[in-house]
Structure 1
């Protein structure tokens, strides 16, 4: 790519673009710039204009360049493996994202084919919204996980919902997992009502592990469709209940207690209450609640347990209730709660339940 074209794309020089279209062959606009510094973006004119957020340059090029030239520009990958749509999502430019996707929406009969420098027919090369970076991230992964922008994510998701929902990056992250983890409710809901999707998450986590970051409706959908994931254990040894206790959000526990999920309620407030982490501490959810310094979490866990075992009086308690469970260090949740003045309230709550403590 010559210096004038590179500078015009970077700066958004529409005047230069108009003159070049009138005097240059189409091949001139397909040239690429490779920077000497790998930290700097390279590629064709659309990569460069996307990087510097020059939407007007995009519009002018899309009005003046032939459709087949635009198609090649949109599908070309730069030296980092990024197409212009990936760059636009990375710099968080919704306007350019819409311009690129709008090209394909307005040319719905267009034959999608890989760029000219490719010798295969992979869809991720012919459709920019399925483009993959070197870390196997699609534009949707970027719009959800790296530069969260729910509007951009929804625009991209609408292009190929089923395919995009199934794509997992090289860290094991599915779009659903990232949407729940980032609290992007509209994206999560759209994925959950689709016919198929991946639930894969980084380090063995599932979307349910991070459901407290989303809305009540998202949690309900996750419970309806992915109940078995409550048994999933991540690489820290955390099941869903451990993770929820650490996030210090009370409303998900209340939803399970008060909602129409009896099977979930029984599993959460009986079986999982005694589960310990696989890490060096071997904590139960109540241990983690005591460490979180949020007395409300400990109290709602205890309330759920008492409700499930049908104990209204201390004399009705089982021999070993969860607040007597010891971790690998030999500590009960009470020991942990007594270790800090910030957790005095939860310690008093444990003592009120059981005089034998």
Structure 2
């Protein structure tokens, strides 16, 4: 009978569910193989979800019940295709807890940020969600947002809401990345501008010694690299833990446009990394490399910046003969 009850909820069959509740064939402690209650299932319905949720709540179903993953129905609101706002408001009206974490340490706010659900983020923050809560990798909801797939414009709106909600911008995750470092790796120019306006440190480095220019260069975000270099921070030739400058990373990752920006802004083509390679070495070590073939204009630019060899003065030549 349990299987039929769960199927009835998935089919949004309110009449069947009412009969099952009346006959005690459907009870609050019933769970499927994943530990989901009927509440977890109802949250994701595409129709009649509010009516079915109200029916379950009025008959004793727990809005804060956790499944095998540690997720509550409120966590699953973020999985909906729509904003999830009406469903979230119904659960919150009935005392859903915004601070419960899954087994991986994710709160509903983490998941709302992961899915770029702006309205849901706003609702959760209005109901005591904690923007500084960390998952098992020390990622806050802000970190999760910037680690997930989405657009710069939407991300900026959500970041602004999180900042107003009290999110700290300098918190680092398990790899030492704060929000500015993550935003730079994604090429989110608008988000980076907002973070800098709100006090983010442009000189910040992660556990691997990478600056915002390292990360944006490695990912090929030329527009952001130009914007960051306009701050006139002295980090265009800063090296990371591997001895790489931003130019090393741009060349290694075949980002010719970024490399050109860095060189024009004064990046050194002679600085050697821990492997003893300069950006010039990485390009010129194989004249038949894909990089050289695809980007002859960059090779020309680099060649024009090659350090000139010192020619011994005439009085020194005699000494060199011996």
Asked whether 1:19 is paired with 2:19, we answer yes
Match in the other structure for 1:92? 80
TM-fit CA distance, 1:167: 0.9
TM-fit CA distance, 1:83: 0.6
Structure 2: runs of 5+ lacking an equivalent? 310-322
Distance in 2, Cα, partners of 1:336 & 1:195: 45
Q: Which has the higher helix share?
A: 1
- Name segments (4+ residues, structure 1) moved above 6 Å: none
TM-score, normalized by length of structure 1? 0.72
Asked whether 1:224 is paired with 2:222, we answer no
User: Superposition pairs for residues 1-357 of structure 1, below 5 Å?
Assistant: 2-21=2-21, 23-24=22-23, 28-35=26-33, 41-50=34-43, 53-65=44-56, 67=58, 69=60, 72-89=61-78, 91-94=79-82, 97-104=84-91, 107=93, 112=95, 127=97, 129-145=98-114, 148-151=115-118, 153-160=120-127, 163-182=129-148, 183=150, 184-197=155-168, 199-212=171-184, 213=186, 215-228=188-201, 230-234=203-207, 236-258=208-230, 265-267=231-233, 270=234, 272-279=235-242, 282-305=243-266, 322-338=268-284, 339=286, 340=289, 341=292, 342-356=294-308
Change (3 A) 1:165 1:229: farther
Aligned residues of 1:206 and 1:229 also touching (Cα < 8 A): no
- Show CA shifts across 1:61-99 (max 9, x none): 244455583xx521111232111122332x43436x334
- Show CA shifts across 1:300-350 (max 9, x none): 223333xxxxxxxxxxxxxxx722111122221111122332344333212
Aligned residues of 2:131 and 2:166 also touching (Cα < 8 A): no
TM-score, normalized by length of structure 2? 0.79
Distance in 1, Cα, partners of 2:200 & 2:299: 32
Aligned length: 296
Change (3 A) 1:94 1:200: farther
Aligned residues of 1:12 and 1:57 also touching (Cα < 8 A): yes
